[in-house]
Amino acid sequence: MEAYFDNSATTRVLEPVKDIVVKIMTEDYGNPSAKHKKGMDAERYIKEAAEIIAGTLKVAPKEIVFTSGGSESNNMALIETAMANKRAGNHIISTGIEHASVYNPLAFLEEQGFSVTYLPVDAQGHIRLEELEAAIRPETILVSIMYVNNEIGAVEPIEAISKVIKKKNPSILFHVDAIQAYGKFVIRPKRQGIDLLSVSAHKIHGPKGVGFLYVDQRVKIRPLIYGGGQQRGMRSGTENVPGIAGMGVAAKIMYTDHGEKMQSMTALKDYMIDRLSEIDGVTVNSLSGDLSAPQIVSASFSDIRSEVLLHALEEREIYVSSGSACSSNHPAVSGTLKGIGVKPELLDSTLRFSFGVYSTKEEIDYSIDVLKELLPVLRRYQRG
* pLDDT tens digits along 348-366: 999 999 999 999 999 999 9
Q: What are phi and psi of 267, to 5 degrees?
A: -65, -40
Note if 326 is an active site residue: yes
pLDDT for 380: 83
Q: Which residues contact 297 (CB under 8 A, 6 or more apart)?
A: 153, 269, 272, 273, 276, 284, 286, 352, 353, 354
Residues 301, 299: Cα–Cα separation, whole Å? 7
Torsion of CA 168, 170, 172, 173, to 10 degrees: 130
The number of CA neighbours under 13 Å toward the Cβ of 69 is: 12
What are the Cα distances from residue 368, in Å, to 140, 268, 302, 375? 48, 13, 16, 10
Residues 365, 369: Cα–Cα separation, whole Å? 6
pLDDT for 71: 98
Residue 295 near residue 8, CB atoms below 8 Å: yes
Spatial strand order of the sheet with 91-95 comes to 64-67, 211-215, 196-200, 173-177, 140-144, 91-95, 115-119
Residue 238 near residue 30, CB atoms below 8 Å: no
Residue 282 near residue 300, CB atoms below 8 Å: yes
CA 338 to chain centre: 20
3-state secondary structure of 336: helix
pLDDT for 335: 85
Residues 120, 335: Cα–Cα separation, whole Å? 10
Beta strand segments in 261-357, E: 282-284, 296-301, 318-319, 350-354
What are the Cα distances from residue 288, in Å, to 73, 129, 256, 296, 371? 30, 23, 24, 10, 21
Listed as ranges, residues in the chain with pLDDT below 50 are 324-325, 327-331
Catalytic, out of 135, 160, 326, 357: 326
3-state secondary structure of 177: strand
Picking from 93, 193, 100, the residue whose alpha carbon sits closest to that of residue 150 is 100
Cβ burial of 380 (10 Å; 0-12, 13-18, 19+) is exposed
Neighbours of 124 (CB within 10 A): 16
The whole model's pTM is what?
Answer: 0.95
Strands 91-95 and 140-144, bridge-based pairing = parallel
pLDDT for 329: 45
